[in-house]
Amino acid sequence: MTIRVSEKTRDIVCKSLNINCLAEIINRSYSGFSSTDDVDREKTALYSDCNRGSIRINTGRFYTAQEYDERVKRVTRMKLPY
């Protein structure tokens, strides 16, 4: 499926992602979130009226990167029943 965008939009996206053409996105590696790139619950609540995406994200019911790391550590320390 082809997505058509204007030349100006293509230039803005390429410039912001530091790529020459949109085809380079296919081979780009995406790393996970770090605690420095975390999402702010207050900011997501502020823009929730404009977002038609996930209800969980709009209502702030998601893990931040730090909360997720803490949860992973807690779960891996749990002892499983025999």
pLDDT tens track for 30-80: 656 555 666 777 777 777 777 777 788 778 788 887 888 899 999 999 988
pLDDT recorded at residue 30: 60
More confident residue, 70 or 27: 70
74 within some domain: yes
44 within some domain: yes
> Any idea of the CA torsion for 21, 27, 28, 32, to the nearest 10 degrees?
150
The pair phi, psi for residue 49, each rounded to 5°, is -70, -30
Query: What's the mean pLDDT in 2-17?
Result: 83
Instruction: Determine the length of the chain.
Output: 82
| Domain coverage including residue 81 | 34-82
Can you give the pTM of this predicted structure?
A: 0.43
pLDDT recorded at residue 37: 62
* Domains identified in the chain, total number: 1
Cite the DSSP H helix spans in the chain: 7-17, 41-46, 55-58, 65-77
Residue 29 has pLDDT above 70, yes or no: no
45 within some domain: yes
